[in-house]
Structure 1
């Protein structure tokens, strides 16, 4: 008589199984900060609006790039030039043109962050959103959280086995449910942000903001299944 090769998902009396979940939450300092920069311009005709927007965009780019290696990434996002319509009798005509460019700057050196933020906000028709604190995708914190989750699963399974007078025998399955930063790597909507806006430049340099980095919570969770020796009931 051949033996049924089909595995027993719930174990047997001779080889019982225990299934547990291991979780880990750790708090670490952020590694990067992002600023959202929106540059605006307005003109009575399209060419004037575009020239003004181009000039201000160049000013912002030069300012951000002047911080050298402190700025790890600088990207241009959306660009728009939109006519503003006004009603003139029964018809509509273009009253003005509004231009807008959105940039994203990513900094790894927080000592320059406060000064750059206020200098950007001090520029004419320039708004600043952020900072959004985050970890890098390859941050060691993610690995630390996953290791802690596995250790938690092993410890929990061992405690269940001990309560039954048994011992863990072997690992059957380890399922990664994901380890992710609760502060998403990216865009608005997270806590701990600063928002500022300025529409006219001051004659003196604005003081640097004193920004406190927001600690990041990293979460990891795994499902684990073990076999154990027969319990002493």
Structure 2
């Protein structure tokens, strides 16, 4: 479709509108790695299988508070001997990585503490986020459109004119901004079995959502 060209009788104004919101997170993701190490392959596999099953059972025990639980990868690797020639193996090590997503942040603190209390288990996270269909995204877009109209109207009024029609509206970006420091785990530790500790008190990190639109309007001929 050919876009109309501006003329003295129908001048145009093109503006950008931005929306920005800071909202509470709706999701929290954690990573769980269970490990095993020993001189015998069978015993390492048995230990890894048992620890993985224990971690999965613990996560699943939180029911609807956990929205997803996935196995991200696993590895069982022979460790070559430090000295000597040939393919001598001095032991084996293995790990399984799980990822879980929760919506109940009260359960999150207790679960991460209990997971970290398991033998040879590491917990990473939490990483805070919004749901893909979060209302915050729609509100940020509405803010961006209102801002574009406001800017265009101000430009027109400064010329003694007014807006006549919208010619084009395009979405140039909608982005949830990661707060500083979220590029790496906010909590990571390995633990061996100890008396059950108190649940961690985790404070959700507010999320920033931005939206940006470009809009083009026609104006009434200005009085110059």
Q: Does the residue aligned with 2:221 lie in a helix, a strand or coil?
A: coil
Task: Quote the offset at 1:205 in angstroms.
Answer: 1.0
In structure 1, the partner of 2:97 is: 102
| SS of the residue 2:202 aligns to | coil
2:170 is matched with 175
C-alpha distance 86-210 of structure 1, shift in aligned 2 (>3 A): same
1:214 aligns with 2:205: yes
1:164 to 142, 159, 163: 159
Q: Which runs of 5+ in 1 are unaligned?
A: none
TM-score w.r.t. structure 1 length? 0.91
Report the count of equivalent residues. 223
1:196 to 2:191 alignment: no
TM-score by length of 2: 0.95
**1 CA distance for matches of 2:127 and 2:73?**
19
> Post-superposition shift, 1:44?
1.2
Runs of 4+ in 1 over 2 A off after TM superposition: 5-9, 87-92, 191-194
- Tell me the residue number matched to 2:51: 56
Instruction: Using the TM superposition, give the Cα deviation of residue 179 of structure 1 relative to its aligned residue in structure 2, in angstroms.
Output: 1.1
1:32 aligns with 2:24: no
Q: Secondary structure at the match of 2:187?
A: strand
1:142 aligns with 2:137: yes
Q: Report the Cα distance in structure 1 between the residues aligned to 2:203 and 2:188, rounded to whole angstroms.
A: 16
CA deviation map 1:198-231 (0-9, x unaligned): 33100x2111111100000000000000000001
C-alpha separation in 2, matches of 1:216 and 1:193 = 16
Deviation of 1:91 after TM superposition, in Å, equals: 2.8
* Residue in 1 that maps onto 2:37: 42
